[in-house]
Amino acid sequence: MSITVDRQAFRLAEAFVISRGARTEAQVLTVRVSRGGVTGVGECVPYARYGESLDSVTAQIEGLSGGITRAELQQALPAGAARNAVDCALWDLEAKQAGKRIWDLIELPKPIPMITAYTLSLGEPEAMQMAAAKHAHRPLLKIKLGTPDDMARLEAVRRGAPKSRIIVDANEGWSAEVYSELAPHMVRLGVDLVEQPMPAGADDMLGEIARPLPVCADESCHDRASLPALKGKYDMVNIKLDKTGGLTEALALRTQARNEGYAIMVGCMVGSSLAMAPAVVVAQGAAVVDLDGPLLLAEDRADPLSYNADGVHPPTAALWG
């Protein structure tokens, strides 16, 4: 068995801005695992917030044994982008070798389309209102916030999209005081939930202050080992394959989190349809789905995911799984 990794860049339709910075392209790593003339593929998006880079993740992947199994992979690499791409490529390889779709292989019901959020970049209130109005036909909008001046942005987005459901992602940008000040206004404006209002590792106050709307752990939740520290602070967990280190751990995290009473959100980094494909499997039955990466791109994979009014559809066999 051989493992190869290649760098690729996909242009974004427009600049994507969060509280930590902006980007104009999605830089991804594509992993191919080949055995017996069959090749499985996977994608990851290294994330600087977690100490990852294209170089460091490439080195992790290139350091693996060519004959590694999925079970061995869970111990060989930590949760993160490198393990994700290889794990998903191994799943794709296994499905192709078995002549089965991935959901049949893991004995899950055939996926159905899931309504996904569409993300609005952080910007000035007027620009965010215009963006919200442009996408007001979408049932679920996600707002990137995380500054001390977010109240005007919240109001502007609601004016632009009066009928859409709204979720807010603060990207660790608020203090407990800012969150407490904004929370009742988010309730008033009909916000469904807020993601990661405070920095991971500095979020203990969430267990002591009122949470009038659901709070979702993103940067604070990577895999099952994260769950004990979330107790009493969060109501929901955001499962991203680049955090869990692949489909294997994502499915296990989903089961354990549900058993412990957390609602499930399934999210993504800004990547191509190949990165979203296995996440669609995890997203089945989730309370919130945020798999809009391909909708933000100006270019995508040759066999992209299908998006329509019913949501994001499961991948074709030509794409993955």
pLDDT digits (tens, 9 = 90+) for 176-225: 999 999 999 999 999 999 999 999 999 999 999 999 999 999 999 999 99
Helices (H) and strands (E) in the chain, counts: 10, 13
Distance CA 176, CA 126 (A): 27
pLDDT single digits (tens) 101-149: 999 999 999 999 999 999 998 889 999 999 999 999 999 999 988 887 8
Distance CA 267, CA 245 (A): 14
Query: So what's the pLDDT on residue 148?
Result: 76
Q: Which of 154, 224, 217 is nearest to 183 (CA)?
A: 154
- The pLDDT > 90 percentage for the chain reads 92
> What's the number of CA atoms in the CB half-sphere (13 Å) around residue 307?
19
Determine how many CB atoms are found less than 10 A away from the CB of residue 294: 26
Whether 21 shows a pLDDT value over 80: the answer reads no
DSSP 123-182: --HHHHHHHHHHTTTSSEEEEE--STT-HHHHHHHHHH-SSSEEEEE-TT---HHHHHHH
Whether 15 shows a pLDDT value over 80: the answer reads no
Whether 16 shows a pLDDT value over 90: the answer reads no
Whether 22 shows a pLDDT value over 80: the answer reads no
pLDDT single digits (tens) 230-274: 999 999 999 999 999 999 999 999 999 999 999 999 999 999 999
Distance CA 238, CA 219 (A): 9
Query: So what's the pLDDT on residue 145?
Result: 87
Query: So what's the pLDDT on residue 17?
Result: 73
Query: So what's the pLDDT on residue 100?
Result: 98
Pair 120, 127: CB distance under 8 Å: no
Positions marked active-site: 144, 240
Let me know the angle formed at the C-alpha of 45 by 283 and 297, rounded to the nearest 5 degrees.
75
pLDDT band at 20 (very low <50, low <70, confident <90, very high): low
H or E, element range at 87: helix 81-98
pLDDT single digits (tens) 33-50: 999 999 999 999 999 999
Distance CA 236, CA 288 (A): 10
CB within 8 Å of 126: residues ≥ 6 apart: 156
Query: So what's the pLDDT on residue 19?
Result: 62
Query: So what's the pLDDT on residue 293?
Result: 95
Find the mean pLDDT for residues 306-310: 96
pLDDT band at 18 (very low <50, low <70, confident <90, very high): confident
